[in-house]
Amino acid sequence: MASLKVSIVITSAAALCLLGHTITHAAEASPAWGGDSESAKAVVKAYWQSPYEKRYELFSRRYREILKRLGAANAQEYAKAQDPERVWRQQIYEKAVMRSGDSAQVTVLASWEHVGYQGVMTFIFDLVREDGTWKIANIAY
C-alpha cells in the first residue's frame, strides 16, 4: 500500500493571514491616537483607492522584502499577482488601535463581487512609521 506524504509550507505573510483573521465591532479609534488615527486611516484609504502599482508605494520596506521573497520584487510584479476580476465595493473602517508610538492597526470590512458571487472580508492592516510616515507593514484577511 502506497503512502501519501503532504507537505504544507506557510510563508510568514500567509501565516499572519491565517492567524490574524478576526471580526471586530468597535466603531471608533482609540482616544490615545489624537489626530494620528486619521493619518493612519488615510494610508489605508489610499490603498483601496489606488491602482495596484501605486499600492506598492504604501508598503513598508520590511513588507516589500516579504513580497520580494514571494515573487513580487517591484510594483509591476505585485500588480500582476493580483486578481483583476474581483471588484471591491465599500469599505467600513471598524477599528483603529495604536500599538505603540510607531505601530498601529486598522481593521476594515470590505465588500466584494467576483463572477456573480458577493461577500464581505475583514482586512487587518498593520502600519509602522518609516521616516515619519505611516506605511503598511502587513495585510491579514
Q: In CATH terms, is domain 12-140 a member of 3.10.450.50?
A: yes
pLDDT of residue 15: 30
- Own/partner contacts of 9-13, CB < 8 Å, gap of 24 or more, are 11/66, 11/69, 11/70, 12/66, 13/66, 13/67, 13/70, 13/138
pTM: 0.71
Give the domain ranges of the chain.
12-140
pLDDT at 64 over 70: yes
Phi and psi at residue 29, to the nearest 5°:
-70, 155
Pairing between β-strand 103-114 and β-strand 87-100 as defined by DSSP bridges: antiparallel
DSSP string, 62-122: HHHHHHHHTT--SHHHHHHTS-TT-EEEEEEEEEEEEEETTEEEEEEEEEEEETTEEEEEE
Average pLDDT, the chain: 77
Nearest of 28, 4, 10, 52 to residue 106 by alpha carbon: 28
Cβ count within 10 A of residue 112: 15
Q: What is the mean pLDDT of residues 42-62?
A: 94
Residues 79-131: tens digit of each pLDDT: 999 877 778 888 988 888 888 778 999 999 999 998 889 999 999 999 999 99
Residue 137 pLDDT grade (very low, low, confident, very high; cuts 50, 70, 90): very high
Whether the pLDDT of residue 71 is over 90: the answer is yes
Instruction: Name the band, by pLDDT with cuts 50, 70 and 90, for residue 35.
Output: low
- Of 33-37, 42-46, 102-106, 126-130, the least confident: 33-37
Question: From CA 72, how far away is CA 79, in angstroms rounded?
Answer: 8
